[in-house]
Amino acid sequence: MSEVVMQISQVTKVFPLRDSKVGFKAVDSISIDLHKGEVLGVVGESGSGKSTLARCAFGITEPTSGGTTILGESLVGKSRKATRELRANLGFVFQDPAGSINPRMSVYDAIAEPLMLAGMDSASIDTRVNFLMDRVGLASSQLSRKSHELSGGQCQRVAIARALATNPKIVLLDEPTSSLDLSVQAQILNLLEELRRDFDLTYFLISHNLDVVSHLSDRVAVMKDGVFVEVGTTRQVIDTPKHPFTRELIRVYSGASCEFDLDTWQDGPLNRWAFQNVSTFLPTKVIAASPEPLSLDIELDANLDAITIDVADSTYTLPELLADVDTDSIVVVRKGVLVYEKYFNGMTPDSVHLLQSVSKSILGALYAVMAERGVIDIDKPIAFYLPELVGSVYEAATIAQALDMTVAINFSEDYSDPQSEMARLDRAAGWRTNTTGHDLGLRSFLRTMTASGEHGKAYQYCSANTDVLAWLISEVTQTPYQDLLTRYIWQPMGAHDDASVIVDREGLSVGNGGISCTTRDLARFGLLIVNGGRANGEQVIPAAWVNATFAGASADVESADYLQALHPGGSYKNKWWITAGASREIFGVGIYGQYVWVDPTSETVIAKFSSLPIPVDGVHSRKHMALFRAICAQ
């Protein structure tokens, strides 16, 4: 590779904030080299720190720490004269061309000014200005004009001529085409490339526009929250993006349709938006936050980013693996202290995300409370409480069997088959378009479910079993499901934010997967379990139920091959998965990568949301297990 002309090392910029001792870290120890003749493009959204980085690197703003060397010489600690000489190697082109030219100056004066400051004689200045005008495609007849008499594209040509006046080696292009129309932008981009080739320039290009950056750059750095989340050759970054933010940017710029489709919203890439926004296209009901939320102590553990995880024949760092499994957010709470928290794909600590089948684990906890209060007897058949289900599979199947997924039912949980009972269930719940004329609501669908054998003998995962339980408990208590969750789980556990649950056309909650909540609140739910059912000094869920869940299903229950392959000796109990691993972890899991992971040995809880492109597969599951175990082992 050619010589390094600019070396940016450990540049950090902190802006003081009135209410904070630490201030706002706009740029967080960024290092990168620019090689002679290359174009380095930095792409990021507003507030990502890209302009601040460029200003620090080019000596316009003093960095808080770190610095730049230009052609081997440091920009800081020099005399004024030496600094000025070194700066002659730098050129600048900014976004607003009209604003970067003094409105009182003619085009000639604007280009000549830096030459005069450099001490050039007037005859040479004349020659140089005319040469530059020609090179940027402006006629000499325009030399007497002022900026307001020029079009945006012409202004930017003048700005480029001025930037190149002193023969700089490195040029900062800060959003050079963002205020121009598309056809004019193309002219300027072509011009910049031509000038780079002819004058052997090095460009430091920053833009929010991925199209512009990827077109002009040899290397691309993707910037977010003050750091480069990804750096590589343009081809590498565009063809094999590693970071979810990069993937999201590429998708946005790909022109992929924004067409919302009720039949594919759960699949990638639409799920990246849809899982955070279900309330915009499906009816939901509120599960209310606690008036006194459980506060979480935060003490971030910087070591976690450095751990390496071996899985699926590769070695990942934690950030790499999080990116690999399309993470939307993750919160880790160790011994009651929040030690790790990351958000991607537009999520924030305030964003809610669909839990999918982690919703089932919350229902499990509600049933523990209801059973303890004597509201229901879990050994009674479901139809005992819902007589309209007499004649269906739920005439004989008990509540306990539905909680443990041992109902023998004719039900295919195949997410890809539009004829499967799972697809019918989605249509009944309103999660897919339903033009069949059948399954109009969960109740009518559940009534058609039939038995396939003797209940209680074998584990058989079936989402309908949870919907029937959500219906049952609101029927028995004559209280909407969301209100029961508010009263007995969400508020007692100290939820900070409102959650919601999707309801079907008749207003019945979709118990199998309809809850959305914040990542921290899902972690609070995990905390409730790891603390033996206690929160804020109160016993919210019976301790005996928590212990029984950790103990897992009875050995008499026949397991399933896929469960044993992932978790040898593991089982399903009370709407939780029991790993039977050395640390006795249990977890709730939802399709497309939603998890609450509870490790009683290290007292660690992990809440994680994702938007995997497909519902479920062994590789993603293994990666998640490895990820969680590596975090808990710290």
Partner 1 sequence: MSTVLKISHLEVDFEINGVITNTPLRGINLEIKAGKTLGIVGETGCGKTLTATAIMGLLPSSAIQRGEIEFGNHGDITKADMADIRGSEITMIFQNPQSAFNPIFSIGAQLTMVAQRRGISDIPATLTARLESVGLRDPKRVLESYPHELSGGMLQRAMIAMALLSSPTLLIADEPTTALDATIGDHVLTLIAALQKREGFAMLFISHDVTAVAKTSDEIAVIYAGRVVETGPTSEVMKSPQHPYTQGLLGAIPSAEKARGTLVAIPGNVPSVLTNIKGCAFADRCSLQMDKCAQEPPTVQIGKQSVACWAVNS
CB of 157 to partner 1, least distance (A): 12
CB of 210 to partner 1, least distance (A): 7
Q: Report if residue 193 touches partner 1, rule: CB under 8 A.
A: yes
CB of 261 to partner 1, least distance (A): 8
CB of 125 to partner 1, least distance (A): 29
CA–CA distance, 86 with 98 (Å, rounded to integer): 27
Query: CB-wise, 275 or 471, nearer to partner 1?
Result: 275
Q: Report if residue 183 touches partner 1, rule: CB under 8 A.
A: yes
Q: Report if residue 279 touches partner 1, rule: CB under 8 A.
A: yes
Asked whether the beta carbons of 59 and 75 are under 8 A apart, the reply is yes
Q: How many CB atoms lie within 10 A of CB 297?
A: 10
Query: CB-wise, 39 or 331, nearer to partner 1?
Result: 39
Of the residues 357, 392, 509, 611, which is catalytic? 357
Number of residues that bind partner 1 (CB under 8 A): 54
- With residue 282 as reference, give the H or E element that holds it: none
Copy the structure tokens of residue 444: 């009518």
Q: Please choose, from the candidates 205, 209, 204, the residue with its C-alpha nearest in 3D space to the C-alpha of residue 179.
A: 209
CB of 237 to partner 1, least distance (A): 9
Binding pattern for the stretch 27-66 against partner 1, x by CB under 8 A and - elsewhere: ------------------xx--------------------
Binding pattern for the stretch 213-252 against partner 1, x by CB under 8 A and - elsewhere: -xxx-----------------xx--x------x--xx-xx
Region binding partner 1 by CB under 8 A among candidate stretches 74-82, 110-118, 189-197, 448-456: 189-197
The sheet that has 65-70: what strands, in order across it?
20-35, 4-17, 65-70, 73-74
CA–CA distance, 169 with 36 (Å, rounded to integer): 8
Region binding partner 1 by CB under 8 A among candidate stretches 107-115, 177-185, 386-394, 404-412: 177-185
Query: CB-wise, 255 or 437, nearer to partner 1?
Result: 255
CA–CA distance, 327 with 345 (Å, rounded to integer): 8
Query: CB-wise, 252 or 543, nearer to partner 1?
Result: 252
Query: Which one among 27, 352, 366, 557 touches partner 1, defined by CB under 8 A?
Result: 352
Q: Please choose, from the candidates 226, 574, 525, 507, the residue with its C-alpha nearest in 3D space to the C-alpha of residue 367.
A: 574
Q: Which residue has the tokens 């990666």?
A: 623
DSSP state of 14: E
CB of 465 to partner 1, least distance (A): 29
Binding pattern for the stretch 479-498 against partner 1, x by CB under 8 A and - elsewhere: -------------------x
CA–CA distance, 258 with 251 (Å, rounded to integer): 10
Q: How many CB atoms lie within 10 A of CB 258?
A: 8
CB of 352 to partner 1, least distance (A): 6
Q: Report if residue 253 touches partner 1, rule: CB under 8 A.
A: yes
Q: Please choose, from the candidates 163, 176, 179, the residue with its C-alpha nearest in 3D space to the C-alpha of residue 41.
A: 176
Query: CB-wise, 245 or 488, nearer to partner 1?
Result: 245
CB of 286 to partner 1, least distance (A): 9
Query: Which one among 19, 121, 259, 617 touches partner 1, defined by CB under 8 A?
Result: 259
Q: Report if residue 270 touches partner 1, rule: CB under 8 A.
A: yes
Q: Please choose, from the candidates 604, 409, 443, the residue with its C-alpha nearest in 3D space to the C-alpha of residue 523.
A: 604
CB of 284 to partner 1, least distance (A): 7
> Is 28 strand, coil or helix?
strand
CA–CA distance, 30 with 219 (Å, rounded to integer): 16
CA–CA distance, 513 with 498 (Å, rounded to integer): 17
- Per 3-state DSSP, what percentage of the chain is helix, strand, and coil (rounded to 5)? 35, 25, 40
Region binding partner 1 by CB under 8 A among candidate stretches 157-165, 190-198, 558-566, 609-617: 190-198
Q: Report if residue 260 touches partner 1, rule: CB under 8 A.
A: yes
Query: Which one among 73, 85, 194, 417 touches partner 1, defined by CB under 8 A?
Result: 194
Asked whether the beta carbons of 351 and 521 are under 8 A apart, the reply is no
What ranges make up the beta strands (E) of 544-632? 571-573, 576-578, 586-590, 594-599, 604-610
Annotation marks residue 357 as catalytic: yes
Using CA atoms, how far residue 117 sits from 85, 88, 99, in Å, is 11, 10, 21
Q: Report if residue 210 touches partner 1, rule: CB under 8 A.
A: yes
Query: Which one among 123, 182, 302, 555 touches partner 1, defined by CB under 8 A?
Result: 182
Query: Which one among 105, 242, 273, 560 touches partner 1, defined by CB under 8 A?
Result: 273
Query: CB-wise, 247 or 608, nearer to partner 1?
Result: 247
CA–CA distance, 97 with 101 (Å, rounded to integer): 7
Query: CB-wise, 262 or 400, nearer to partner 1?
Result: 262
Query: CB-wise, 273 or 384, nearer to partner 1?
Result: 273
Query: CB-wise, 234 or 317, nearer to partner 1?
Result: 234
Query: Which one among 96, 126, 211, 320 touches partner 1, defined by CB under 8 A?
Result: 211
Cβ neighbors of 530 (< 8 A, separation 6 or more) are 598, 599, 600, 603, 604, 605
Query: CB-wise, 53 or 304, nearer to partner 1?
Result: 53
Query: Which one among 189, 296, 548, 563 touches partner 1, defined by CB under 8 A?
Result: 189
What ranges make up the beta strands (E) of 390-539? 499-502, 515-518, 534-535, 538-539
Q: Please choose, from the candidates 242, 268, 267, 310, the residue with its C-alpha nearest in 3D space to the C-alpha of residue 622.
A: 310
- With residue 328 as reference, give the H or E element that holds it: strand 327-334
Q: Which residues bind partner 1 (CB under 8 A)?
A: 45-46, 151, 153, 181-187, 189-190, 193-194, 197, 208-212, 214-216, 234-235, 238, 245, 248-249, 251-253, 255-262, 270, 273, 276-277, 279-281, 284, 346, 350, 352, 498, 500
Q: Which residues are the active-site residues?
A: 357
